[in-house]
Amino acid sequence: MYYKLYQFFSIVIFFTVFPLFLLHSAITGKNRSGLGERFGFIKNQVAAGKRKKYRIWLHAASVGEVQVARALIIELKKILPEADVVLSTVTEQGKAVAQKQLDQDVACIFAPFDLPFSVSRALNIIKPTVYVCLETELWPTMLVYARRSGCRLLLVNGRISEKSYKNYLRFKGLAREILPLFSQISTIQAVDAERFSSLGAHPEQIVVSGNAKYDLSGAALEKIAVDDYRKLLNLRPGQTVLVAGSTHTGEEELLVGVYLRLKKEVPDLIMIAAPRHLERLPEIEAFLVREKVAFERLSAIKLQQRSEDVVLVDTMGDLAGLYSQATFVFCGGSLVPRGGHNIMESAAWGKPVFYGPCMKDFIDAKELLESKSAGCTVYSADELYDRLFNLIKDPIAYQHMVAQSKMVALAHRGSAARQAQLIKDVLLSCPTSAKAAFRSQ
């Protein structure tokens, strides 16, 4: 009953809002690309290429989930060479990063609108054996239609933040109809498993497998050309680099203040600032101009040698490589109440990582790092300055933190391999008739 209500209202809302969406796109030039794919018209190598024995459809909402997909695809290729992979994303940034970072044999598309005609058309073209949701990207119509087609459903790297859990509780009736459709739900932590169970998933569906994002410290990061980033930034041996990753409104001002104070003590200090949302670049640049802080964009130094000591990252997909050059990392969304971001991505390189107190979406990673003195919560810009200054003056303490970061990252690899094996097990358990048959909706 709840799904039928969802389907009815989603269609009504779509046809009410879509004309406004088209008008906005015409005026701003945004969200024009991939409209055909969003309606289910898939015309790239998915339709034209030769299909392997199995097809795995991974769905990633945006850039963060694409990183999980990278780790999973590496493991899937090892154990399922007879399967091809299709990756769908919701956002343009997510698709751009996927196309840049994934191998060419992975077809990258925009996810269809969660409407019967879009979903059924996409399923008829792609014909997946298994449909895999990454984290908690649940689209009811897609899940219902995919399951009806004979496709198995999995949710991997599942997580439900405290805020999201409260929102899901408002739609518990719909969740109780949708979650049992999954063959398996693989969660990051036990608390995520408990939340999925309370929303309607059966206990036998759920397994705790850890966070596949931690595996970006393995094979996925090995593909990053570390020397290329060193040359790009024109770094001297031993030069001190502060990377501020995934920053939000209000954080850049604090971090620039820390940078300017540290630079008085460390004249060759470089700061690399990577805002979480690129549309904020103009306001950050305006702030830097007001403060008379010279800077240049990363895209500019890709064309000519770096000449300023503050670099503003205006590209997608470069942050992991930039972390490789850091002396220190600050992970944003944490000095302001945004729940934090993936601090393990920088720890994977053996980098001391600092973050504010607002880390509720990454409590597991925070506790792991702090249990080994590899990460540090700071409650203010002043405290961040003090911590960084003390480590600069104490190389033994700094090297200890580096070693601890590497140790934690190495100790918690393997989640991607476990989740890939889960996908393989479910795929191979599909009855032959379900693999071959495809009932169009």
pLDDT score, position 390: 98
Fill in the amino acid letter for 369: L
* Helix (H) or strand (E) segment spanning residue 164: helix 162-169
**Please, are residues 155 and 186 in contact by the beta-carbon 8 Å criterion?**
yes
pTM above 0.95, yes or no: no
Q: Distance (Å, rounded) from C-alpha 78 to C-alpha 224? A: 19
- The model's pLDDT over 188-197, given as tens digits with 9 standing for 90+, comes to 989 999 999 9
- The model's pLDDT over 231-279, given as tens digits with 9 standing for 90+, comes to 999 999 999 999 999 999 999 999 999 999 999 999 999 999 999 999 9
- The model's pLDDT over 223-242, given as tens digits with 9 standing for 90+, comes to 667 889 999 999 999 999 99
CA 38, 117, 57 angle in degrees (round to 5)? 55
Domain ranges of the chain: 31-218+415-436, 224-411
31-218+415-436 CATH = 3.40.50.11720
Q: Distance (Å, rounded) from C-alpha 114 to C-alpha 118? A: 7
Give yes or no for residue 389 having a pLDDT over 60.
yes
**Please, are residues 217 and 410 in contact by the beta-carbon 8 Å criterion?**
yes
Phi, psi of 270 (to 5 degrees): -115, 140
Give yes or no for residue 431 having a pLDDT over 80.
no
Single out the residue of 174, 173, 162, 84 nearest to residue 129, CA to CA.
84
Q: Distance (Å, rounded) from C-alpha 271 to C-alpha 326? A: 9
| CATH architecture of structural domain 224-411 | 3-Layer(aba) Sandwich (3.40)
